[in-house]
């Protein structure tokens, strides 16, 4: 089974290499010629148009999207639905809003095309070596691509979560929790940095990540950040918010569910655009560590 990858950025290229290691045949496309050149250099076969991509796939076409949420992904799905046939499968592995995924699922279903929403976590390392996948869609559709998705995932890192939209709903809530966890880590290290003690923050993060109840991947990333820049002097405490926490809060409001910690973590990110703080430097470094998100350098 050939898989057509659309989007060969930080996540897409690493996921393509991941499944190629498991003997899956991948044909890739990206609108950026530089991204295609990087993929070619990494031994991923690419084509220069979506039409050429579709022509290179099997009779039942499997398209795997790793593209920015919102207009770009939704437009791609709209264009693909004009070119695909009944029984073909589109997998959206990006951070799409689950409401968009429901609309794309319904549009695909009306044409007999399968749409699978695949929440993806684990950052660039997970993409390359085994991701955490939360997969929603009709069971019939998921069964077609499940061997591929299980090979893409790490051990025990695959979940079929149920009906359409459920995969991206899970990823939305996952990212809301992630915001809150990163904020707590950032605030804790800010307190350590401001204290009268001369803590080696790299060593603190290391010991907390061995047997502690706050042992976590994020703590490992904190250790790596402090190893490179012990007091994060090169980073400005400005943190972007990519949307998922806002969607989590909006969904919580619609269900009358209180999520004060997640809400406050988003508000702190918004406030970070106004003022600088050490806790925000930590959060910015963590986002860079797992997702390659850009950091703002101190002047």
Q: How far is CA 173 from CA 94, 121, 122, in A?
A: 14, 12, 15
Alpha-helix runs per DSSP H in 195-293: 201-208, 217-228, 244-254, 260-272, 278-291
Is there a domain that residue 117 lies in?
A: yes
62 and 183 part of one domain: no
Q: For residues 170 and 159, what is the distance between their CA atoms, to the nearest angstrom? A: 10
Q: What is the pLDDT of residues 23-40, one digit of tens each?
A: 999 999 999 999 999 999
**Using CA atoms, how far apart are residues 127 and 17, in angstroms rounded to an integer?**
9
**Residue-number span of the structural domain to which 41 is assigned:** 2-163
Segment 136-144 mean pLDDT = 98
Say if CB 124 and CB 292 are below 8 A apart: yes
Lowest mean pLDDT segment, chosen from 4-18, 184-198, 274-288: 274-288
Identify the pLDDT of residue 273.
80
Q: pLDDT band for 137, please (50, 70, 90 cuts).
A: very high
Q: How far apart are CA 295 and CA 272, in angstroms?
A: 13
Q: Is the whole model's pTM more than 0.85, yes or no? A: yes
Per-residue confidence at 215, pLDDT binned at 50, 70, 90? very high
119: helix, strand or coil: strand
Task: Output the pLDDT for position 289.
Answer: 83
**CATH code of the domain in which 117 resides:** 3.40.50.720
Q: How many CB atoms lie within 10 A of CB 60?
A: 15
Are 122 and 259 in a shared domain? no
| Residue 74 located in a structural domain | yes
Going by C-beta distance under 8 Å and a sequence separation of 6 or more, which residues neighbour residue 284? Answer: 235, 236, 237, 238, 239, 295, 296
Is the pLDDT at 187 greater than 70? The verdict is: yes
Phi/psi for 62 (5° steps) reads: -115, 115
**Predicted confidence band of residue 198 (pLDDT cuts 50, 70, 90):** very high
Residue 262 lies in a domain: yes
Q: Which residues pair with 64 in a beta bridge?
A: 5, 91
Question: Are residues 157 and 48 both part of a single domain?
Answer: yes
191 with 156, same domain? no
* H-helix segments, 60-195: 71-83, 98-109, 123-129, 139-152, 166-194
Between CA 153 and CA 268 the distance in angstroms is: 32
pLDDT confidence band for 299 (50 / 70 / 90) = low
pLDDT at 297: 72
**Residue 290 falls inside a structural domain:** no
More confident: 87 or 297: 87
Percent pLDDT > 90 in the chain is: 85
Q: How far is 153 from 148, CA to CA, in rounded Å? A: 9
What's the whole-number mean pLDDT along residues 135-150? Answer: 98
* CB of 218 closer than 8 Å to CB of 260: no
Q: Residue 297: what are its φ and ψ, rounded to 5°?
A: -80, 140
| Residue 90 resides in a domain | yes
The pLDDT value recorded for residue 87 is 97
Give yes or no for a contact between 54 and 83, defined as CB atoms under 8 angstroms apart.
yes
For 80, other C-beta atoms within 10 Å of its C-beta total 23
For the segment 269-291, what is each residue's pLDDT rounded down to a tens digit?
Answer: 888 887 777 888 888 888 888 77
pLDDT at 288: 83
Number of domains in the chain: 2
Q: Annotated active-site positions, please?
A: 171, 178
Residues 92 and 18 in one domain: yes
Report the alpha-carbon distance of residue 288 to residue 144 in Å, rounded.
34
297 lies in some domain: no
183 and 265 in a single domain? The answer is yes
- Is 135 in the same domain as 268? no
């Amino acid at each position: 089974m050939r898989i057509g990858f659309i989007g060969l950025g930080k996540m897409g290229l690493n996921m393509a290499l991941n499944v190629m290691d498991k003997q899956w045949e991948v044909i890739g496309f990206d609108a950026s010629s530089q991204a295609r050149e990087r993929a070619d250099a990494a031994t991923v076969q690419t084509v220069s148009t979506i039409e050429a991509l579709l022509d290179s796939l099997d009779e039942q076409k499997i398209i795997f999207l790793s593209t920015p949420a919102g207009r770009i992904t939704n437009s791609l799905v709209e264009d693909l639905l004009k070119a695909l046939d009944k029984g073909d499968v589109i997998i959206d592995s990006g951070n799409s809003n689950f409401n968009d995924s429901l609309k794309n699922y319904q549009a695909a279903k009306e044409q007999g095309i399968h749409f699978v929403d695949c929440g993806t976590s684990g950052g660039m390392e997970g993409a390359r070596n085994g991701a955490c996948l939360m997969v929603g869609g009709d069971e019939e559709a998921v069964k077609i691509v499940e061997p591929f998705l299980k090979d893409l995932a790490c051990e025990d890192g695959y979940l079929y979560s149920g009906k359409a939209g459920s995969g991206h709903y899970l990823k939305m809530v996952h990212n809301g929790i992630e915001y809150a966890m990163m904020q707590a880590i950032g605030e804790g290290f800010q307190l350590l940095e401001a204290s009268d003690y001369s803590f080696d923050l790299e060593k603190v993060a290391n010991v907390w990540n061995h047997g502690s109840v706050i042992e976590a991947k994020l703590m490992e990333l904190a250790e790596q950040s402090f190893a490179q820049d012990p007091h994060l002097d090169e980073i400005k405490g400005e943190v972007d918010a990519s949307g998922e926490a806002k969607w989590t809060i909006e969904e919580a409001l619609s269900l009358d569910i209180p999520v004060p910690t997640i809400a406050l973590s988003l508000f702190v990110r918004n406030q970070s655009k106004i003022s600088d703080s050490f806790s925000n430097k930590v959060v910015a470094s963590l986002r860079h560590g797992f997702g390659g998100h850009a950091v703002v350098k101190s002047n």
